[in-house]
Structure 1
Amino acid sequence: MKPVDPRLLRHARATRGFLVGSVLLGLLNAGLVIAQAVLIADIVVGSFQQGLGSDELTGSVALLAATAVGRALVSWLTERAAHRAGAAVKSELRTRLVEHAAALGPGRLDHRRSGELAVLAGRGIDALDDYFARYLPQLGLAVAVPAAVLAVILTEDWVSAAIILGTLPLIPLFMVLIGWATRAHMDRQWRRLSRLSHHFLDVVAGLPTLKVFGRARAQVENIRAITADYRRTTVRTLRIAFLSSFALELLATISVALVAVSIGMRLVHGELDLHTGLVVLILAPEAYLPLRQVGTHYHAAAEGLSAADEVFGVLGTERPRPGTGTAPDARTADLRLERVTVRREGRAGEVLSRVDLTLRPGETVAVVGPSGAGKTTLLNVLLGFVRPEPGGRVLIGDRDLADLDPASWHRQVAWVPQHPHLFAGTIAENVRLARPDADDAAVLRALRDAAADADLPPGRRVDEGGAGLSAGQRQRVALARALLTERPVLLLDEPTAALDGLTEARVRETLRRAAGGRTVLIVTHRPALRDLADRVVELLPAGAAGALPAHGSPDAADGAGGAGAT
C-alpha cells in the first residue's frame, strides 16, 4: 500500500488540504516535543546538579506545563481535522460512486452484483474512517517529528544521531515487508465480505421461493459457513497485525536501548554532560514513536484501502461522454441500427455482430432468437445504456444517439425490462414513478390495461425489489408503469414470460391497442406476441452462420450480420 493513494487526491479534494494541515500540525508537535525535552533536562539538571530551588525553577515548570497542554491541543486539533476531512472525503467519494454508477447505467454495471455495490457505498467507504482519523495524521507526524528530532540530536550528540540514523530506516523497511502480507490478507477478507453480503441479499430476496422448496435451512447453513470463513480470515489478519506491532516495538526498543547504553557509558567516563544526555535520551524514543504508530495504524487503514481499490475500480470504468443534442420526435423518426457490434467485459467474443435493423414510426417489431443471442443487449443499445463498437451507430431520424442528451431521448421511451425492479411502497407509487402527476384514475386504468387490477390494488404495499410478489405480478406492475407514460417508443423485454395464458391474452390485447401510433419493439419467445407484430426479426448469436430467410415484402427484410426478418 502506498503511504498516500494518489487516487484519493484525485477523486477527493478534501484530502489535499488535510495532508498539508497534518504536516503543519506535525511540525508544531515536533517543536513542542523538543521544547519539552529541553525543559525536562533543564529542570533535572538545575535541581540535582546546580541546586536551584523551587522559586528559580517555577518558570521552567510553567513552560513545561504549557508545552504539555500545547501537545494535547495539537493532538485534539489533529483528530478533529481528521474526522472532518474523513467525513468530507467519504461524502465526496460516495457521491461520485453513486453518480458514476448511475451514469454508467445498467448496461455497463450488470457484471457487478448489487450486493457488492451496496457494500462499497456503505461499509466500504465507511472503512476509510481509520485511514483518515488515524493513519494519515500519524503519517504527517512520521514525516515531521523524526526529521526535527534527529536534527536537534545531531547538534547535541553526533554518536547518538548516528545510531538513530542507522536503525531508524529499519522500521519502515519492516513495515513494507509486513504490509505486503497484510494487504493480501485484507484483500481476501474484503472479497469474502462482499461475497457474504451478496449471498445474504440474494437469500433474503428469494426467501419465499426457498421456503416453498424447503431449501431455506440449507441456505442458512451456507451463510453460516461463509460467516465462519470471514471470521477465520479476520482472526488471521489480526494475528499478523499483532505480530507486526510486536516486531516494530521490539526493534524500536532495542534501538533506543543502544542509544541509552551509549549515553550511559559516556556519562560514566565523563565524555558527555548530563543535560545533553537527558535531552538526547528523552528525544530518542520520540524519533521512533511516529513510525511505530504508522505501522500500527496501517492495519486499521488496510481494510479501507482495500475497499477504496474497489471503489476506484468503478470510478475508473470509462464513462461515455453524453451528448447534448435534442432527440428528434420519435413519432415521425425512424430508429436505425447500422452495423452495430457490442463486446462485453468478461465475455469472450461479440454479443452483437454487425447488426442492421430499422424500426419505422408506428411499427411493431418482435425480436426472437435463442438465449444468449443478444436480444436484451439490443434493447440496451437502443436505450443508450450500451454503446456499439466504433463503426456502428444508432440513429434517431438522422441524429446519432451518441450525440443526443440521454434524458431527451429517455423522455420518449417507455421500457419494461425482463426483471423489473420495484421499490418499497405501494403499487400506485411504483406505477406513478413513470408519471408523478398522474391521477388515481390514470393509475387504475394503467393497472387494468396491464391485467393487474384484480390482484394488485393500488394501495397494496410491497417490499424493496418487489419481494412478496410473483414474477408475473412484478412484470404487470412494470407494464402498467410503461403504459402510464404514453410515450411514442415502447421497448418490452419478455413482458409475458411469467404470465398464464388468460392473463397473457389480456396483455396481448392491451399491447395491440397501445401499439397504435407507437413504435414498439418486443423481445419474446411467445407465439402470441409474435403474431401481434408487423414484422418478426430473428437475432442469431454472433458468429452463427446466416439467418432465417425473409418472408413478405422486401421492405420488411432487415437482416444483415446476425439479424433476419420473417
Structure 2
Amino acid sequence: MKPIDPRLLRYARATRLFMVAVVGLGMVGAALVIAQAMLIAEVVVGAFQHGLSAGELRTPLLLLVAVACGRALVSWLTELAAHRASAAVKSELRGRLLERAVALGPGWLSGQRTGSLVALATRGIDALDDYFSRYLPQLGLAVVVPVAVLARVVTEDWVSAAIIVGTLPLIPIFMVLIGWATQSRMDRQWQLLSRLSGHFLDVVAGLPTLKVFGRAKAQAESIKRITGEYRQATMRTLRIAFISSFALELLATLSVALVAVTIGMRLVHGEMDLYVGLVILVLAPEAYLPLRQVGAQYHAAAEGLAAAEEIFEVLETPVPTAGTAAVPAGASAGALTFEGVTVRYPGRSGDAVHEVSFAVEPGETVALVGPSGAGKSTLLNALLGFVAPAEGRVLVGGVDLAEADLGRWRSQVAWVPQRPHLFAGTIAENVRLARSEADDAAVRQALADAGALEFVDALPQGADTVLGEDGAGLSAGQRQRLALARAFLADRPVLLLDEPTAALDGATEAEVVAAVRRLAVGRTVLLVVHRPALLGVADRVVRLDESAVPMSAAPESAVLAEAGTAQDAPRAESRTERSSAADHPACEAAPAAGNRGLLARVRAMSGPRRGRLALALLLGSLALGSAVGL
C-alpha cells in the first residue's frame, strides 16, 4: 500500500486541500511540541535547581497551559478537517462510481454481482473513514514533527541527534516489511466480505424459492461457512496488527532509552546542562510517536484502501467510445435499420444474434417473433446502445448508432421492458420519470390512456400513493400499465416494447394490448412478441430463426434499464432493513430472564478459551507495568 494513493488525489479533489491542511496543522503542532518541551524544562529547572516559587514561575506555567490548549485545538482542527474531507471524498467517489456504472451500461453490470457492488459502494467506501481520520493526519505529523524535533535537538546535542537519526529510519523499514505481510491478507479479507455480501443478497432475494425447494438450511450453512472464513481472515490480520504494534513500540522504546541513557550519563558527570537534557528527554519520544502511530493506524486504513483498489478498477474500466453525430429529431428518427448485425457476449461460445438484417420505416409497427434465446431482446439492447454489434451496424434516422450521440438518441425513445422497474416513491413520480416537469393533469391523462386510471383512483391516495420497493403492492398487470403510462407521458417518436404482456392473465392482457394499440399511433414501434394477442397491433412481423442462434445466447433477463440498475444498491439495503425489522420484535420479546442468563452463556462460550483469556490478562498487566516502569 502506498502512503498516499495518487488516484485518490486524481478522483477526489477534496484530498488535495486536506493534505495541505494536514501539513499546515502538523507544522503548527510541531512548533507547539518544541515550545512545550522548552517550557517544561524551564519550569523544572527553575523549581528544582534555582528554587523559584510558583509566583516567579507564573509566566512559563501560564504559557505551558496555553501551549497545551493550543495542541488540543490543533488536534481538534485536524480531526474536523479529516472528517469533513472523508465525507466529501466518500460522496465524490460514490458519485463517480455511479456515473461510471451508468456509462458502462447494463452490458457491463449484468456481469457483476449485485451484492459485491453494494458492499463496494457502501461498506467499502465507508472504510475510507479510518484512512482520512486516522492514517493521513498521522502521516502528515510523521513528515513534519520528526524533522522539526531533530532540527531543535541538533542545535543542543549532536550525540542525541545522531542516535535519533540512526534509529528513526528503522521504524519505516519495519512498517514496510509488515505492510507487505498485511496487504495480501487485507485483500483476502475484503474479497471474502464481498463474496459474503453477494451470497447473502442472493439468498435473501431467492428466499421463497429456497423455502419451497427445501434448500434454505443448506444456504444458511453456506453463509455460516463463508462467515467463518471471513472471521478467520480478520483474526489473522489482527494478529499481524498486534505483533507489528508490539515490534514498533519496542523499537521506539529502546531508541528513546538509548537517548535517555546517554543523557543521564553525561548529566551525572556534569558534561551536560540540566535544561538541555530535559528538553531533549521530552522531545525524543515526540520524534518517534508520529511514526509509531502511522504504523498502528496502517491496519485501520488497510481495509479502506483494499476496497479503494476495486473502486479504482471500476473507475478505470474503459467506457465504450461515445459518438457525437446528431440524430434526426421527430418522425425521421423512427427509420431503424439493422444491417448484418451480429452480437457476441463476453464469455459466450457463440453469437447471441447472427447476421440479422431488416428495416423499420417511420410510423411502422414491427413485431419480432421467435423462440426464446433467439436474440429478440438482444436486438433491443443493441438498438438502445447497451451492447455494440461485433459485426454489422445499426442505423437510426440514417445515422450509424456507433457514431451517434447516444444521449440524444435515447431521449427520443420510450422503452417498456418485460419486467418494468418501479422505484420507491409515489405513482405520479414513477410516471413522471421521463418528464419530471409534467403537471398532474398530464399524469392523469397518461394513466387514462394506459388503462391504469381506474385502479389508481381506487387506491387510498390515488396517484400520490407511495409504492414499495419495485412496485410492491401492485400486480404484474398494474405495473405493466404504469410502465405504459410512463411511455404515454414521455411522448417520444420511437417506442420499444419487450414482451409487455408476458405473465399476464387474459383480461389484463387485453387491457394492455388496447393500451399498446393507442400508444403506437403515430410512432415507430418495435415489439418483441411471444403471445399472439399483440400480433394484431403489428403492421409487419419479422421472425428470428433459432437455427442461426446457439442455445448459449445471452438470456433476455440480462437486458437492464440503466436507471433500474443504478438503484440496485438502495434496493439491496432496503431488503436487508426489512429483514432486520422482521427479526427485531423477537429480540424485544425476549424475557428478562434471558438477560440474567447472558453472563452464564458468555462464560460457557469462553470456557474452551480460558487459557487465552488468562494469557491476555497477564500480558496486559505486564505491558502496563512496563509502561509505568519506563
Take 2:106 and 2:86, find their aligned partners in 1: how far apart are those partners? Answer: 30
Match of 1:464 among 462, 469, 473: 469
Take 1:205 and 1:405, find their aligned partners in 2: how far apart are those partners? Answer: 36
Take 2:443 and 2:478, find their aligned partners in 1: how far apart are those partners? Answer: 22
Quote the residue 1:34 is aligned against.
34
Deviation at 1:19, TM superposition (A): 0.4
Take 1:269 and 1:143, find their aligned partners in 2: how far apart are those partners? Answer: 35
Quote the residue 1:284 is aligned against.
284
Change over 3 Å in CA distance of 1:138–1:344 after alignment to 2 = farther
Change over 3 Å in CA distance of 1:52–1:349 after alignment to 2 = farther
Quote the residue 1:400 is aligned against.
400
Structure 1 unmatched runs, 5+? 546-566
Take 1:380 and 1:386, find their aligned partners in 2: how far apart are those partners? Answer: 6
Matches within 5 A, 1:94-133: 94-133=94-133
Quote the residue 1:86 is aligned against.
86
Quote the residue 1:190 is aligned against.
190
Take 2:203 and 2:130, find their aligned partners in 1: how far apart are those partners? Answer: 31
The reply to whether residue 161 of structure 1 matches residue 184 of structure 2 is: no
Take 1:13 and 1:516, find their aligned partners in 2: how far apart are those partners? Answer: 50
The reply to whether residue 442 of structure 1 matches residue 446 of structure 2 is: yes
Take 1:217 and 1:111, find their aligned partners in 2: how far apart are those partners? Answer: 28
Quote the residue 1:336 is aligned against.
337
Take 2:443 and 2:356, find their aligned partners in 1: how far apart are those partners? Answer: 41
Change over 3 Å in CA distance of 1:56–1:254 after alignment to 2 = same
Take 1:173 and 1:373, find their aligned partners in 2: how far apart are those partners? Answer: 61
Take 2:29 and 2:457, find their aligned partners in 1: how far apart are those partners? Answer: 73
Amino acid at match of 1:328: A
What number of residue pairs does the alignment pair up?
543
**Residues 414 and 487 of structure 1 are in contact (CA less than 8 Å); yes or no, is this contact kept in structure 2?**
yes
Deviation at 1:537, TM superposition (A): 3.8
Take 1:232 and 1:473, find their aligned partners in 2: how far apart are those partners? Answer: 48
Deviation at 1:287, TM superposition (A): 1.1
Amino acid at match of 2:329: P
3-state SS of paired residue (1:105): helix
The reply to whether residue 363 of structure 1 matches residue 364 of structure 2 is: yes
Deviation at 1:43, TM superposition (A): 2.7
The reply to whether residue 416 of structure 1 matches residue 416 of structure 2 is: yes
Quote the residue 2:567 is aligned against.
none
**Residues 322 and 406 of structure 2 are in contact (CA less than 8 Å); yes or no, is this contact kept in structure 1?**
no
Quote the residue 1:536 is aligned against.
542
Structure 2 unmatched runs, 5+? 552-630
Quote the residue 1:299 is aligned against.
299
**Residues 327 and 396 of structure 2 are in contact (CA less than 8 Å); yes or no, is this contact kept in structure 1?**
no
Take 1:370 and 1:249, find their aligned partners in 2: how far apart are those partners? Answer: 70
Amino acid at match of 1:538: L
Take 1:405 and 1:378, find their aligned partners in 2: how far apart are those partners? Answer: 19
Take 2:459 and 2:332, find their aligned partners in 1: how far apart are those partners? Answer: 32
Deviation at 1:293, TM superposition (A): 0.7
Amino acid at match of 2:66: A
Quote the residue 1:247 is aligned against.
247
Quote the residue 1:377 is aligned against.
378
**Residues 329 and 412 of structure 2 are in contact (CA less than 8 Å); yes or no, is this contact kept in structure 1?**
no
Q: Does 211-220 or 481-490 show the bigger shift?
A: 211-220
Quote the residue 1:493 is aligned against.
498
Cα deviations across residues 454-487 of structure 1 (Å, max 9, x unaligned)?
9999667642123466666645543454355453
Cα deviations across residues 522-564 of structure 1 (Å, max 9, x unaligned)?
334546656865132426698869xxxxxxxxxxxxxxxxxxx
Change over 3 Å in CA distance of 1:526–1:543 after alignment to 2 = closer
Cα deviations across residues 363-422 of structure 1 (Å, max 9, x unaligned)?
333445666654433222211233446x85432222333554444322332212244222
Amino acid at match of 2:450: A
3-state SS of paired residue (2:330): coil
Change over 3 Å in CA distance of 1:541–1:268 after alignment to 2 = farther
Change over 3 Å in CA distance of 1:432–1:38 after alignment to 2 = closer
Change over 3 Å in CA distance of 1:486–1:284 after alignment to 2 = same
**Residues 207 and 216 of structure 2 are in contact (CA less than 8 Å); yes or no, is this contact kept in structure 1?**
yes
Take 2:9 and 2:220, find their aligned partners in 1: how far apart are those partners? Answer: 42
Deviation at 1:308, TM superposition (A): 2.0
Change over 3 Å in CA distance of 1:472–1:232 after alignment to 2 = farther
**Residues 446 and 484 of structure 1 are in contact (CA less than 8 Å); yes or no, is this contact kept in structure 2?**
no
Take 1:360 and 1:428, find their aligned partners in 2: how far apart are those partners? Answer: 33
Amino acid at match of 1:443: L
Deviation at 1:504, TM superposition (A): 4.5
Take 2:210 and 2:477, find their aligned partners in 1: how far apart are those partners? Answer: 18
Deviation at 1:4, TM superposition (A): 0.9
Deviation at 1:259, TM superposition (A): 2.0
Matches within 5 A, 1:161-240: 161-213=161-213, 215-216=215-216, 218-240=218-240
Take 1:30 and 1:59, find their aligned partners in 2: how far apart are those partners? Answer: 22
Quote the residue 2:622 is aligned against.
none
Cα deviations across residues 253-300 of structure 1 (Å, max 9, x unaligned)?
122222222323333344433333222222111111101111111122
Amino acid at match of 1:284: A
Cα deviations across residues 137-192 of structure 1 (Å, max 9, x unaligned)?
11110100111112222332223222222222221222222223333333333333
Take 1:469 and 1:102, find their aligned partners in 2: how far apart are those partners? Answer: 28
Change over 3 Å in CA distance of 1:525–1:439 after alignment to 2 = closer
Take 2:479 and 2:486, find their aligned partners in 1: how far apart are those partners? Answer: 11
**TM-score normalised by the chain length of structure 1:** 0.83
Deviation at 1:69, TM superposition (A): 1.8
Quote the residue 2:137 is aligned against.
137
**Residues 189 and 230 of structure 1 are in contact (CA less than 8 Å); yes or no, is this contact kept in structure 2?**
yes
Take 1:532 and 1:464, find their aligned partners in 2: how far apart are those partners? Answer: 32
**Identity of aligned pairs, percent?**
67
Cα deviations across residues 333-353 of structure 1 (Å, max 9, x unaligned)?
421234555555555676556
Quote the residue 1:58 is aligned against.
58
